[in-house]
Amino acid sequence: ETGVTQTPRHLVMGMTNKKSLKCEQHLGHNAMYWYKQSAKKPLELMFVYSLEERVENNSVPSRFSPECPNSSHLFLHLHTLQPEDSALYLCASSQEGDRGGGTEAFFGQGTRLTVV
């Protein structure tokens, strides 16, 4: 399998549930990301892991908890979500060099999350 794979593709959960989103990249990249895509809003960067260390956390509520056990896997643990958290959650990866810049992000197909 190649590229960036996200599971599940669709998820419906109640506000009291706990669930996890999974992302796996087969590109040998050293950085992974979680983005949130809501209707009529720009893509929102949530978390960044570079070399398995979290380097960015853009004021995301604590009900979202990321985990990066190794450079190929990224999880987003969800608990006590709100209906406004319903969105498409996209995982991405990239290869960051010493000088940075110009490297594109490769995206997974996303998980469509609905909170009821």
Q: Tell me, residue by residue from 30 to 59, as one string, x for binding to another protein by CB under 8 A and - for no binding.
A: -x-x------xxxx-x--x-x----xx---
Q: CA-to-CA distance for 89 and 38, rounded, in angstroms?
A: 9
Residue type at position 40? K
Angle at alpha carbon of residue 35, lines to 2 and 115, rounded to 5°: 105
Give the binding-site size for another protein (rule: CB under 8 A): 30
Closer CB to another protein, residue 60 or residue 80?
A: 60
Decide the pairing of beta strands 111-115 and 10-13.
parallel
Site residues (vs another protein, CB under 8 A): 4, 6, 31, 33, 40-43, 45, 48, 50, 55-56, 90, 92, 94, 96, 99-110, 112
